[in-house]
Amino acid sequence: MTMRLTTTDPTTEKDVETYEYHDDADLDRLLDRSADRFESWRDRPVTERQALVGSIADVLRENEDEYAELMTEEMGKPVSQARGEIQKCAWVCEFYAERAAEFLQDERVGVHPRARTKVSYEPLGPLVAVMPWNYPFWQVLRVAAPTLAAGNTMLLSHAPNVTGCAKAVERILDEAGFPEGVFTTLVVDTDAIHDAVADDRVAAATLTGSVRAGRAVAETAGNNLKPSVLELGGSDPFVVLADAPLDRACEVAAKARVNNNGQACIAAKRFIVHEDVYESFRDGLVREMESLTVGDPADEDTDVGPIARADLLDTLETQVRETVDAGATVLTGGEALDREGYFFEPTVLEDVPDDAPAACDELFGPVASLFRVGSEEEAMELANDTDYGLGASVWTEDLERGERLAGEFEAGAAFVNELVQSHPKLPFGGVKNSGYGRELAADGIREFTNKKTVWVSPADGLDG
């Protein structure tokens, strides 16, 4: 019997589209095609590969509204943010179209006067990429652009609820002129993903998602001695010191918590505030959260749309309820909305116990947790008291102090007086349970290459 999956609009709870899963024979055929295509794709000049990556940007910009509306329909992203995601995808493709050859050029290393020594960057082969639903175009293309420019091929296993977005990305690359098989969308279940990662035709794996999923893929890759990159969850601290620029900090704090409906790994989740400004920041954050418009994400005026799936809404409700039962106070929000769709109110919690879900777990929704501290030292200790280490920010008028504290965060990225974000020109990734390896910048294109040492000595030897 053919297995099928159906995507659901989280705003209306209505079915969007039904897709057939690839069966074992399909998977074998697609793996064969990807491996065969790699042999010719790797030999294409890097200038040709990067030009094709640049063509992706052209297709994205020409069809921005179509792709944004698809995102909004499948996972509930406010449409203005969805357009911003498409624009960012075009940007990362243009970045690698310009810089790929530079990042991949041989590096000459002086070792001996009579020897020619260098480091070259050569593609590994087919890459399995397991991607999440929350940024359904960006997460894929920030991996695909450098991976394909480097000469690898890519097999995408996307989250089931954004299968339409996955299919759209494949069509985009086809329209951009990529040969068939360089990029392939797999519609498969979890067991098939692990089969693909373990397959001899696959060279490496990358995953963006939960810690549980990351551990599973890393175990499969490790057991088969294949490199992997993991970008996992986060519980980012947002540290507000006594000399913080409060008006801007409150405004950015709300944006940092509810962007993408609060469903972002690098969202600020724990707001750690010095007691001297605690009440002022708390009241300002509550005002900002209460000013947000919750509603249909297809409406241009909507700030916060639905949670992406019913089960994710149930999980968020449980986490908030258990946190309140443990002693936390709800300052605003705290409930799912009694309406069609998977909506949750923008929420601010205070007096959060150290062992409550809102302190320990990653809450994937528009819920901010406030913590009062009495000193800079206490703030940093609490900021680092987490199993995660993706991003962090500190807010202060003293920039030298801010830069010093940025160096103390146990995180892959630290920002002073700014929203934590990814940028094509900067490496992105985490430490601890937030994963390992880096995406973007030069690091991202080199992650899935063989960094090969080449040593050429004269025939009569180095001393001849």
List the catalytic residues: 231, 265
318 φ/ψ angles, rounded to the nearest 5 degrees: -65, -45
Q: What is the DSSP letter of 294?
A: B
Beginning with the edge strand found earlier in the chain, give each strand of the sheet holding 435-436 in spatial order.
183-186, 154-158, 127-131, 204-208, 228-231, 435-436
Distance between CA atoms of residues 148 and 145, nearest Å: 6
Q: Which two tokens stand for residue 261?
A: 């409906």
Give me the sign of the Cα torsion angle 327, 328, 332, 335.
negative
**Which candidate, 122, 99, 76, places its Cα nearest to that of 310?**
76
The full length of the chain comes to: 464
Which residue carries 């491996």 as its tokens? 35
**Which candidate, 447, 452, 450, 389, places its Cα nearest to that of 205?**
447
Distance between CA atoms of residues 267 and 253, nearest Å: 9
**Are the C-beta atoms of 100 and 53 separated by less than 8 Å?**
yes
Which residue carries 């002086």 as its tokens? 110
Please state the three-class secondary structure of 132-200 as a single string.
Answer: CCCCCCHHHHHHHHHHHHCCCCEEEEECHHHHHHHHHHHHHHHHHCCCCCCEEEECCCHHHHHHHHHCC
